[in-house]
Amino acid sequence: MLSILILCGRSPRHLWVANRLCGAARPLAIVQETGTLWSAKKLRRLLRPDNLWRKGSRWLRDRRRYAGGKEARFFFGHETPSPGRADLLVLSKVASRAASVSWAPKIRGLFGGPVVWCSTRIASLARQGDRAVLDVQSGPSRPAFAFSGIADHEAFLRDLSSLGIQVVGDLRFPDHHAYSADDLARISSASRDAGAVQLITTEKDIARLETGKRAHEEFLSTHTVLCARLDLTVLRGEDQLMALLEECLVGGPRV
């Protein structure tokens, strides 16, 4: 059976988990997002004092925790955390086939195994409540407010804009954010002030709102919330991916 580890970043914690799973007696595929496009807006947001403090404190915490001393030996032992022992590297969010060609030399310098290049796009918009699927090509005509707790909120906004969706406002939350009642009230107030009549978020965030908690249930029942469903397309490396899957299914786990 093929084990798949999804890496959302390159932090020491992710690499430690990858290294431990790579040492298991079964094949492992590591799924890693490529770097995102930089923009003046993103740079200004990164340089805000609150973001500098958050990023800096996380870097110092992880560097202290995983880059030396007793804690590093406890987590890593005498091994260097690395995804290099993986059987397969899958890169998502690649802009195009041409982009995969330009990135290939850099990736080969980091990983010598087979690489699968993929792109993602918003394939449909599902309305929460009745689960109705809307036509994503034309996009909803009514003004929408976008919110998310993912690593690249700007990419989410770009995807919505490329579909012609009228986004009149947005809110970004930290990655893997657990929404509180105050957060939901903030979203509701901001969307109302922006003149939006519907909300759009990601599949990842919808999963964090379908918890059964009273505040979450009330929010979903009193707002029109659309979930942007993603579709993944393999740009290059599909033959290598299928060959590895077939090997795992036919030959079983390798020791």
Give pLDDT tens digits for 57-95: 766 666 555 555 555 565 556 655 555 667 788 888 787
In the chain, where are the structural domains located? 3-39+73-114+237-251, 122-230
* CATH fold group of domain 122-230: Rossmann fold (3.40.50)
CB 114 within 8 A of CB 138: no
Q: What is the pLDDT of residue 103?
A: 81
User: Cβ(191)–Cβ(169) under 8 Å?
Assistant: yes
Cβ-based neighbour number of residue 12 at 10 Å: 17
Residue type, 245: L
Pure H helices in 23-168: 40-46, 49-66, 69-76, 97-110, 153-162
* Mean pLDDT of the chain, nearest integer: 78
Residues whose CB falls within 8 Å of the CB of residue 140, separated by 6 or more in sequence, listed in order:
125, 134, 165, 166, 198, 226
Among residues 224, 198, 42, 233, which one has the least CA distance to residue 122? Answer: 233
Find the mean pLDDT for residues 138-148.
82
pTM: 0.66
Report which of residues 162 and 54 the model is more confident about. Answer: 162
Report DSSP state, residue 119.
Answer: E
229 strand-pairing partners: 124
Cβ atoms of residues 147 and 199 within 8 Å:
yes
In the numeric block, the tokens 């995969």 are attached to: 100
pLDDT digits (tens, 9 = 90+) for 3-55: 555 554 555 566 666 666 666 545 455 555 544 555 677 778 778 888 788 77
Residues 8, 152 contacting (CB under 8 angstroms):
no
Most confident of 167-171, 172-176, 212-216: 167-171
